[in-house]
Amino acid sequence: MSLNLCVLVSGKGSNLKAIIRASASGKIKSKIKLVITNKLTSGAFDICNREGIRCVYMAEENFSSRSKYINEFLRYLRKYKIDLILLAGYLRKLPEEIVKKYRNRILNIHPSLLPSFGGKGMYGLNVHRAVIDSGVKISGVTVHIVTETYDSGPIVMQKAVIVKDDDTPESLSLRTKKAEHILYPKVISLFESKKIKVKNQRVSFV
Ligand code: GAR
């Protein structure tokens, strides 16, 4: 089944690019119908321009009230008939109203093996710095369902990444991103072909 995807981006957008590539090459059937960014500096604008994808800038601080912001967000999701929302380096907590409306249809990718190295402040290079400082030998990537609690939703899939002795946060980030670019499309294709079953914290596909 082909799903209408919405990708949420704050930063460079390498995961967005990977999903576009997976869609163009037929690895996934789904198409990105909408990209939303909360940062004017995001790489998402250029990427979407090149690809002819609608990119919308939406930041809560530009709305006169929280409810107007949420309504506008939901209006876009409805307008583009979005089936699955993918957070790809989106550094903003999604309003609970949106999480509730799209229950089990919002995913996040995180650059560590959750529940380790997650939570507030744990994004981008901060995660890799904490991983290296802790001395663990294996790190990785987690794709999980977004719930009302940060980085704690049911885990859909994980991929391990080796931590090398001479790794810096930057080198570990590079290796981890390669794994992210493989894992996210895999998870999307799982959502395309199977029914998701979520029981407590456990995700299975039937
Ligand atoms: C990715 O490494 C993603 O896992 C991370 O931000 C990066 C965005 O990169 N997300 C988090 O840390 C969320 N807590 P990208 O803009 O190149 O896709």
Q: How far apart are CA 92 and CA 9, in angstroms?
A: 9
58 Ramachandran zone, left/alpha/beta (phi>0; psi -120 to 50): beta
Are 33 and 81 a contacting pair, CB within 8 Å? yes
pLDDT at 195: 85
Q: Where are the domains of the chain?
A: 4-194
pLDDT at 181: 98
How confident is the model over 191-204, as pLDDT tens digits? 999 888 999 899 99
E-strand stretches of 44-149:
55-57, 84-87, 106-110, 138-145
Cβ of residue 4 lying under 6 Å from some atom of ligand 1: no
In the block, tokens 């309504």 appear at 71
pLDDT at 193: 93
Strands 55-57 and 31-37: parallel
Q: Which CATH architecture has domain 4-194?
A: 3-Layer(aba) Sandwich (3.40)
How confident is the model over 180-194, as pLDDT tens digits? 999 999 999 999 998
How confident is the model over 130-171, as pLDDT tens digits? 999 999 999 999 999 999 999 999 999 999 999 999 999 999
What does pLDDT average to over the chain? 97
* Ligand 1 centroid, distance to 134 Cα (angstroms): 20
What percentage of the chain exceeds 70 in pLDDT?
100
SS3 49: helix
Mean local confidence (pLDDT), 79-107: 97
pLDDT at 194: 84
Atom of ligand 1 nearest to the CA of 14: 17
Amino acid letter at 147? T
pLDDT at 132: 98
Report whether pLDDT(49) > 90. yes
First CA to last CA distance, the chain: 15
Cβ of residue 177 lying under 6 Å from some atom of ligand 1: yes
- What letter does residue 197 receive in the DSSP assignment? E
Residue nearest to atom 11 of ligand 1 (CA): 123
What percentage of the chain exceeds 90 in pLDDT?
96
